[in-house]
Amino acid sequence: MGFEPTICTRGFEKKFDQKAIEEIMSRFKQHLEIDLLRAPRTVDTHVRNAREFLEFVAKPPELITADDVRSYLAQHRHRHPNTYMHRLKAVRVFLRYIGKEEIGKMFKFPRLEPPFQEAPKDDELAKFYQALESLHDKAFFLVLATSGLRYSEAKSLRVEDIDLDTGMVVPHRNEVRTIGTKNTGMTFINGEALEVLKQYLKESGKNSGQIFDELRGKSGTWYRWKIAREKSGTKIRPKDLRLWFNVKMALAGVPDRYVDFFCGRARRTIIARHYSEYSPGILKEIYNRAGLRVLG
């Protein structure tokens, strides 16, 4: 499976230490990036958790047994199911990489009950928006709320990805996507978002490149959104805006297959894959009919 042992295990002639672990993790990372085309965030998570596992068992990969995996997972058994799932997922990928896939298959993922999610109310969005002071943050907020984009997609948007006349948004426009497992399609932003975005671009003098670049740091968007939540008495987070978008589209009668397309989710049904039109004109008409409004 691409793993070639470089450590002699007979009698442990060569010590299995941290340096050996890092050498293995370096090759495992390349496997994830190149062989499996995983996204950077997934790569980092799998490498971090696989390193934790290998440090726990403290032995060369060739000697890992089901009991080793069982002992490692036992320490995470009573933690949050998501934590356990992420650890197990990384371990299974690593075991497959070293040619011990059958061991990984012995361990099952926990059953996760879908959490009860309540979308923020319209008045909460309006209060939160009014509490934002930066034009950068207002534009980012409206783009997230009216596009259905994931946070990671919205933050990486470039000026070239948005048609400032029609509001059409194509993440990674003119870019061949060769990594990751998430789909990206085409979506739109509404007139409110388009107006504020144009104001921000004019004020900032941006004509190309990344639009939203003030997200991190002590004075960045994350910090300013925290202040806005406190001022407005709301709990608005980026992922809440994606949920709000989905709920609003559903209430407006937009078919699920088109909501999925706007949100970059895989088209699951036969109708969605083979008997639906996804041309820009049709999508724009469907989006406009929903009459999405954030600020009333």
If you search the block for the tokens 């975005």, which residue do you land on? Answer: 197
What span, in angstroms and rounded, lies between the C-alpha atoms of 242 and 146? 8
Give the containing element (helix H, strand E) for 146. Answer: helix 135-147
User: What residue type is 194 in one-letter code?
Assistant: L
pLDDT score for 214: 80
Distance of CA 88 to the CA centre of its chain: 19
| CB proximity list for 109: less than 8 A, separation 6 or greater | 85, 88, 89
Rg (CA), the chain: 23
Q: Which domains does the chain have, with CATH numbers?
A: 10-105 (1.10.150), 122-290 (1.10.443.10)
Q: Which tokens hold the place of 210?
A: 């990344």
pLDDT score for 184: 54
pLDDT score for 175: 47
Averages of pLDDT over each 10 residues, the chain, 296 residues:
46 66 95 90 94 94 95 92 92 96 93 76 95 93 94 91 94 52 72 96 92 78 90 92 95 91 72 61 92 90
DSSP conformation class of 187: E
Phi, psi of 95 (to 5 degrees): -65, -40
State the sign of the Cα–Cα–Cα–Cα dihedral 108, 75, 92, 115. Answer: positive
Query: What does each C-alpha distance from 233 to 89, 120, 138, 181, 230 come to in angstroms?
Result: 38, 12, 17, 36, 5
pLDDT score for 275: 45
SS3 162: strand
pLDDT score for 15: 60
pLDDT score for 272: 53
